[in-house]
Structure 1
Amino acid sequence: MDHVPAVVLGLCSYTHDSAAALLVDGELVGFVEEERLSQKKHTHEYPHHAVEWLLGEAGLTPADVDAVAYNFQPVRYLAEAPTALRLALSGTTRDRALPRAAGFAKVALRTRRRVQSLGRRFPGAQVSPVLHHRAHQLTAFAASGWDESAVLVVDSLGERQTTTIAHGHHAGRPATRTLEAIHDPASLGYVYGAVTEHLGWRRGDEEGTVMALAALGDPTRFRHLFARAVRTTATGFALDPAYFPPRVLTSGYPRTSRRFVVETCPPRRPDEPIQEVHQDLAAALQERTEQVMLHMARRARLLTGSRRLCLGGGVATNCVSVGRIIEAGIFDEVFVPPAPGDAGTALGAAVAVHTDSGNGRPLCGVARACYLGPSYPEPNLDLTPWPGLQQKTLDIEVAEFLADQLAHGMIVGLFQGRVEAGPRALGNRSILASPLEPGVVERLNASVKFREPFRPFAPMVLADRAREFFTLGQDAPYMSMASGVTNKAREHIPAIVHANGTSRLQTINPTQNPFVHDVLRAFARRTGVPVLINTSLNVKGKPICGTPDMALDCLANSGLDALLLEGRWITK
């Protein structure tokens, strides 16, 4: 670069989960997913709301941006075209060879055009495409705050890579060095998405529903099929194209084969009832995912020699797999950043460009940070559009008041402070409920979230009392790890225990979220239990509520009893 960029804008845009992050002299101004502001879930549009907020927060204009970091490198797609043609040598994959080569070439050109369009939006900036997996690696490693660790990224596809093992090290600034990479068509994310779609849910959105369904099934029926279809190797894994044909980056090419359908079940329509075969298929898929993730974690330990592991990529949101890795004791500690999926690569790309630029300023504000989006500390609430709602300002101890309402069985939305990064509600855009209330899970699923009855709800717990109820043995600040539970949890709070005997927990300490910590302590004084149910402030199919208006809509159109919005108590 001709000059050292002071203002670096990181972008995830035009694919899915658009997001933006802004670094000014190495200091993180903020990070936010576009869906939290636009109300369009998984939007692929240019994140103009997010960028506008970030620049406004820093007092800058588009002309002040020195560098734009984009989370894909167009040229890397082109390398797949000649490799794809080799598929013509096999009868199983012959029909995919030409369309696959053409698809990757087409995406390379499309990505190049996207990079050029960003250049037009920021004419004074140099646009730097960043290798997708490198962006994932740096998101995870920089957020960990560690000096060194193994870094394992597993997703569906980044250019050609689907799985990478890297070593992260911090010599004044975070850096990662990739030691091994697995390329498409060997992709764990591709398989999970394909089976999610086969089972009647939206690929790229509802894999978590399939993970929850898996707990109700028996993996035995399809265990051997998945062992053949997703085969482990000495250095990784490979897919059998007889079950999962190679990806073609244009629509109209099914991700599962006729043989897969014959040996499992016909595709389920979203409106069809869930049968035992669907549960068993989900269970076998989840079991194989966990086995492959464990295999890759052991490989990362072997290659890096590190006692710590950072996980990134979409498959890192599979909290049961993360829990299995922790339980296996391969590493002393495992870290998953709050935004391990593609949205988070906006931040990783910005970190990459800052690191490469020669800017001497150290990175600041990224490590162990999750509340990174907009806040609305004193919203001017006009409830006219919601005639059924009424508000009052609380002039009492708010944490004590909220704990009291929860202890009496109310289900309350909580909107406070800055929007969380990533897919989980971490106490700033949450729906809270008492785990002691009879029928609370059924009520939450049926009338508040409007989602499948088998979906579990996650607990938040005081960090210093987590061991009384959970066996994880390490902090879980971002609700990204499934933990086993103790007999005390089974006895006193069965509502937070899923059918597989685990809970996706969040541990809360006083520095991380002081208000929620106070609420948990107050709730524990009333009930003896320092645990609350915590789910995201939204209903199924809608993004987490990033703005007051979105939160008021959620209250008005769901079974929520009340909303605590920056000290205002809003009821129907």
Structure 2
Amino acid sequence: MIILGLTATISWNTAAALVQDGRLVAAAEQERFNRIKQAPRIPPVEAAEFCLQSAGIDPADVDCIAVGFASPMRYALLRGLGTARSLAGHDFLLTAPSVAEYMIQQYKLRQRLFDAMPELASKKWVYVPHHIAHAASAYRASGFQETGVLVTDGNGERDSTQTGFAKNGELTVLDSKAADQSLGGLYSNTTSLLGFSRHIDEGKTMGLAAYGTPKYPLEALRIHDGTYTMPRSYIRDGFWKDFPFQRHKGDEITQEHKDFAASVQHRLEEAGIALAQGIHNRTGYRRLALAGGVVLNCDMNAKILQQDFVDDIYIQPAAHDAGTAIGAALEVAAQLGEPGGFVMDHAYWGPEYSAAEIQATLDETKVPYEKPRDIEQATADLLSKGLILGWFQGRMEIGPRALGGRSILANPGMAEMKDRVNAEVKHREGWRPFAPSMLAESADDLVENSYPSPFMLLTFTVRKEWRERLAAATHIDHTVRSQTVTRDTNSRFYGMIEKFRDLTGIPAVMNTSFNDRGEPIVMSPRDALRTFFSTGLDALAIGDFVVRKKTPAPDE
């Protein structure tokens, strides 16, 4: 069967995914097509068109459409029940507008989808509750037969956290937390208080936390008995009363701000550990599958993995709302009897461009380029000489992490690269860290307590003997948000790192997403060229070709 998965357009990160015979064959985020960061509440029509076209499937052959959110009528019921449960007058006032917005957004989604692909108008729509879709995106892609399941985000229809377990393809929900207990809401409040943009800059809060000390106890977040609780109105009202030191954009970041970020990060990690402990206590399972926007917090994930009751962990690379398109499609496939066993061991499910398409774009734009005999060797040579490169290869990643499909690369052994890339290329705060992409077989040599990390969603402490040689990709606390690269999942990226190791002795490169500040990751060759020429990149390895600016390498 062919199932088209969609993120509901009430979500912040919209996407589409295609599942055929129980296996994912394509997935992409709408932001990459329309170039609007996160594409909030924008129907993922172009992403859906791509998924079908890339698989060679006519819209008429789609069996059903799966949406990662409850139906409008069920949402109205769940929202009403949640409001009644909270007994909050403020929630009563917001319920009707929220339901009306979802109905309007769902109408827009259908109309735009049917305008683009009229054949879909006759297809059956199946609505999968938001946190079930998140859960399915993790456990149905993990390869685990038995696993605990943890979902935590801002909120779904009425809840913000869900714990459960899966066994032989069946999910059982153990517990859920209402929207007023949202860990995502707490972290977004913190992000806003620190003068950053909520829903977008939570990664800044996590990065800033390493510069501080957890001095604020956050007593309102009570952690106990394998769970946590907060006062019902805390996120909306109490938080702002407890911490009235609002920073505005452009203001100096003080030690108070750094300590507050560290305090919230510390408590988030404790809450995450408690939830994982609660699942283990009730199931005995030592594996865990994670999804939801909060699990993009790789420091929390790492702390969970370090617990003695966790042996294995799987984190959906599109853990934010985009992943619900994948989860909804996989869940409906399972409900319809499609075979299970799919393992999502890489994130390369987006568009790719042939050598002919790339060369045509280079020729059309009159950009001087060369075609080296070995693009892997040519790239490794340039990196070893201190150039900053755009790396545009193969299928585009899904999720917020660049994993060697659409990346900006540099030499991690040159400590100044961190400042150079932040200032000249990414145009962002100088304290923000980068990540290393390392050969999987070298991970144990480079970091302590290594574990497969294909999606860059775990952090590890760099071994002392490697801190200088990974200086540009290591955070202030000596941790790295590493990606382990295998030949099976990305042979060209692996081969390039291998050749870089042969030149420098370092089996890793510094990696960050191929985009400028405030923009989505590049998708097409044209996107890559725009970013290349509007930033301080020195060279671009795009398919089989290399484009260079006339600036000499630092050692030339």
Instruction: Please name the residue that 1:349 is paired with.
Output: 328
User: Separation in 2 of the partners of 1:570 and 1:535?
Assistant: 19
Structure 1 unaligned spans of 5+: 1-5, 246-256
**Deviation for aligned residue 1:111:** 6.3
Query: Which piece of structure 1 moves more, 376-385 or 322-331?
Result: 376-385
**Deviation for aligned residue 1:193:** 1.0
User: Separation in 1 of the partners of 2:85 and 2:347?
Assistant: 44
Could you say what secondary structure the match of 2:322 adopts? helix
**Alignment partner of 2:202 out of 201, 207, 218:** 207
235 and 528 in structure 1: CA distance in 2 versus 1, 3 angstrom threshold: closer
Q: Deviation per CA, 1:397-451, whole angstroms, max 9, x where unpaired?
A: 2212211111110111110110112110111111111111141100010011111
Instruction: Please name the residue that 2:351 is paired with.
Output: 374
Could you say what secondary structure the match of 1:244 adopts? helix
Residues 1:340 and 2:331 aligned together: no
Map 1:136-151 onto structure 2 (within 5 A): 136-151=134-149
Map 1:483-498 onto structure 2 (within 5 A): 483-498=460-475
**Deviation for aligned residue 1:104:** 5.0
**Deviation for aligned residue 1:346:** 0.3
Q: Deviation per CA, 1:443-482, whole angstroms, max 9, x where unpaired?
A: 0100111111110010111111111111133111110001
Q: Are the counterparts in 2 of residues 310 and 336 from structure 1 also a CA contact under 8 Å? A: yes
Could you say what secondary structure the match of 1:68 adopts? strand
Give TM-score scaled by structure 2 length.
Answer: 0.92
Instruction: Please name the residue that 1:276 is paired with.
Output: 255
Could you say what secondary structure the match of 1:179 adopts? strand
Q: Are the counterparts in 2 of residues 145 and 368 from structure 1 also a CA contact under 8 Å? A: no
Map 1:32-47 onto structure 2 (within 5 A): 32-43=28-39, 44-47=41-44
Instruction: Please name the residue that 1:231 is paired with.
Output: 222
Structure 2 unaligned spans of 5+: 550-556
User: Separation in 2 of the partners of 1:558 and 1:323?
Assistant: 33
Q: Deviation per CA, 1:197-247, whole angstroms, max 9, x where unpaired?
A: 121211111100110011111211x22xx1x222224352222246422xx
Residues 1:51 and 2:48 aligned together: yes
Instruction: Please name the residue that 1:194 is paired with.
Output: 189
**Deviation for aligned residue 1:524:** 1.3
Residues 1:98 and 2:92 aligned together: yes
Q: Are the counterparts in 2 of residues 85 and 101 from structure 1 also a CA contact under 8 Å? A: no
Could you say what secondary structure the match of 1:162 adopts? strand
Aligned residue pair count: 539
User: Separation in 2 of the partners of 1:83 and 1:566?
Assistant: 51
344 and 63 in structure 1: CA distance in 2 versus 1, 3 angstrom threshold: same
RMSD of aligned residue pairs (Cα, Å): 2.2
**Deviation for aligned residue 1:534:** 0.7
Map 1:4-15 onto structure 2 (within 5 A): 6-14=1-9, 15=11
96 and 485 in structure 1: CA distance in 2 versus 1, 3 angstrom threshold: same
Q: Are the counterparts in 2 of residues 119 and 126 from structure 1 also a CA contact under 8 Å? A: no
Could you say what secondary structure the match of 1:291 adopts? helix
Amino acid at match of 1:66: D
Q: Deviation per CA, 1:465-515, whole angstroms, max 9, x where unpaired?
A: 111111133111110001112111224322222122311001112212111
**Alignment partner of 1:159 out of 157, 160, 163:** 157
Query: Which piece of structure 1 moves more, 344-353 or 488-497?
Result: 488-497
**Deviation for aligned residue 1:366:** 4.7
**Deviation for aligned residue 1:103:** 4.5
Instruction: Please name the residue that 2:552 is paired with.
Output: none
User: Separation in 1 of the partners of 2:45 and 2:452?
Assistant: 35
User: Separation in 2 of the partners of 1:155 and 1:286?
Assistant: 15
Map 1:419-498 onto structure 2 (within 5 A): 419-498=396-475
User: Separation in 2 of the partners of 1:97 and 1:565?
Assistant: 50
User: Separation in 2 of the partners of 1:355 and 1:262?
Assistant: 47
**Alignment partner of 1:178 out of 164, 173, 181:** 173
Query: Which piece of structure 1 moves more, 493-502 or 114-123?
Result: 114-123
Query: Which piece of structure 1 moves more, 505-514 or 270-279?
Result: 270-279
Amino acid at match of 1:71: G
User: Separation in 1 of the partners of 2:285 and 2:416?
Assistant: 45
User: Separation in 1 of the partners of 2:194 and 2:530?
Assistant: 31
User: Separation in 1 of the partners of 2:55 and 2:122?
Assistant: 17
**Deviation for aligned residue 1:288:** 0.8
Query: Which piece of structure 1 moves more, 484-493 or 97-106?
Result: 97-106
User: Separation in 2 of the partners of 1:186 and 1:263?
Assistant: 17
Instruction: Please name the residue that 1:253 is paired with.
Output: none
Could you say what secondary structure the match of 1:127 adopts? strand
Identity of aligned residues (%): 34
Q: Deviation per CA, 1:29-75, whole angstroms, max 9, x where unpaired?
A: 21111112221111031112211112222333333322110111031
**Deviation for aligned residue 1:337:** 1.8
Instruction: Please name the residue that 1:254 is paired with.
Output: none
218 and 526 in structure 1: CA distance in 2 versus 1, 3 angstrom threshold: same
215 and 298 in structure 1: CA distance in 2 versus 1, 3 angstrom threshold: same
Residues 1:18 and 2:9 aligned together: no
User: Separation in 1 of the partners of 2:474 and 2:547?
Assistant: 30
User: Separation in 1 of the partners of 2:280 and 2:315?
Assistant: 16
Q: Are the counterparts in 2 of residues 63 and 123 from structure 1 also a CA contact under 8 Å? A: no
Q: Are the counterparts in 2 of residues 192 and 207 from structure 1 also a CA contact under 8 Å? A: yes
Instruction: Please name the residue that 1:331 is paired with.
Output: 310
87 and 145 in structure 1: CA distance in 2 versus 1, 3 angstrom threshold: closer
Residues 1:217 and 2:212 aligned together: yes
**Deviation for aligned residue 1:542:** 0.6
**Alignment partner of 2:300 out of 321, 343, 362:** 321
Could you say what secondary structure the match of 1:185 adopts? helix
Instruction: Please name the residue that 1:249 is paired with.
Output: none
**Deviation for aligned residue 1:266:** 3.3
290 and 216 in structure 1: CA distance in 2 versus 1, 3 angstrom threshold: same
Map 1:245-324 onto structure 2 (within 5 A): 245=236, 257=237, 260-324=239-303
